[in-house]
Structure 1
Amino acid sequence: MFKGFKEFLLRGNVIDLAVAVVIGAAFNAVVEKVVSSLITPLIGMFFKADSLDTALMVELPNGGTIAFGALLGALINFIIVAAVVYFVFVMPMNELRKRTTTAVEEPVVETEQELLSEIRDLLKAQNGASAAAPLAAPATPADPAGPAHAE
């Protein structure tokens, strides 16, 4: 019972996933700081709000509010995370993968017509080369009675 659990935990995919979650959480903290200390003040300057959560708020008639600024902040966070993941992780890994994998040439598959043409050309060459010498008789199966009965 514990052996199977141990194999599950030590499987490469589980370890990679755990590392990715931890790195993602740490990276998210960095992105939040960039947004809160750099992007939010710039947007606040344009919309006259101290944070994105209070920027672009629309009051509804029944007392509720729609916070477009909070949505904009979430979208900016997403775009920053996606850009950094792509440019820092995905693009370099794809480039490394291209450099390390060798191009495997696919075998050339000849069509039936090409193969038949090659056979024809080989037969012509054999017949032309052996025009001086007659063609040998095709091999026949051995006579079951043996060579003594041959006439």
Structure 2
Amino acid sequence: MIKGFKEFILRGNVIDLAVAVVIGAAFTLIVNAIVAGLINPLIALVFNASSLDAVGWTATNLNGDPVFFAFGAIIGAIINFLAVAVVVYFVFVYPMNKWKERAAARAGISEEEAAELPTEQELLVQIRDLLSAQPKA
């Protein structure tokens, strides 16, 4: 059981996931600072509110108590998500795609050719079939 856990932990994708979580947490802090320092003041200009959490409307329930609908919090969450997505795309995804294109160009393989190359499993099946087709001596 411990051996299986050790193999699971030492897989490359588990380490990649851990790195992604740490980087995601760091970007969350950056995005929150951008929202607090840039977007909230812009919203304060438009809506006369200090942050998106204060944007909304108040209604009264059947008992006469006020109920606040904070649609600004939803808008803030959407802005945070889009900001994180933009940063991740332009900092990680786009440069990695360019790097892969350049590596493939140096290797002399186009993207279409790389997509058409057989997988390792397909190559192993072909080797097995060729070996079994050989006459036995």
Q: What is the TM-score with the length of structure 2 in the denominator?
A: 0.72
1:88 corresponds in structure 2 to 91
CA RMSD in angstroms comes to 1.5
> In terms of Rg, which structure is larger?
1
Q: How does 1:2-151 map to 2 (within 5 A)?
A: 2-55=2-55, 57-62=56-61, 63-101=66-104, 102-103=109-110, 104=113
Secondary structure of 2:75's counterpart equals helix
Q: Could you give the per-residue CA deviations for residues 76-123 of structure 1, whole angstroms, max 9, x where no partner exists?
A: 1111111111111111111111111222387xxxxxxxxxxxxxxxxx
What is the Cα deviation at residue 61 of structure 1?
A: 2.8
Q: Which runs of at least 4 in structure 1 moved beyond 3 Å after TM superposition?
A: none
Q: 2-side partners of 1:44 and 1:73: how far apart?
A: 13
TM-score by length of structure 1 reads 0.65
Equivalent residues, number: 105
CA–CA distance in structure 2, aligned partners of residues 44 and 18 of structure 1: 37
- C-alpha separation in 2, matches of 1:69 and 1:25: 23
Structure 1 unmatched runs, 5+: 107-151
Amino acid of the structure 2 residue aligned with 1:32? N
Q: Deviations over 1:1-32 (max 9, x none)?
A: 22111111010000000110011011101100
Structure 2 CA distance, aligned partners of 1:98 and 1:33? Answer: 34
Relative contact order higher in (CA < 8 Å, ≥ 6 apart): 2
